[in-house]
Amino acid sequence: MFGLEEKPTKHVEPEKWYIAVDCAKCCDGIAFAEAPSPQRSDPLQRMISNLKCPHCGHVDTYAPAAMSLRQAAHVS
Q: Which of 2, 24, 13, 3 is nearest to 75 (CA)?
A: 13
Among 5, 7, 13, 26, the residue binding Zn ion under the rule CB under 5 A is 26
> Is residue 16 a contact residue for Zn ion (CB under 5 A)?
no
With CB under 5 A as the contact rule, the residue among 34, 44, 55, 69 that binds Zn ion is 55
* Least distance in angstroms from the C-beta of 23 to Zn ion: 3
Binding status of residue 61 toward Zn ion by CB under 5 A: no
Residue 56 lies near Zn ion (rule: CB under 5 A): yes
Q: If 0-12 CB within 10 Å is exposed, 13-18 middle and 19+ buried, where does residue 24 land?
A: middle
Binding residue (CB under 5 A) for Zn ion from 12, 19, 20, 23: 23
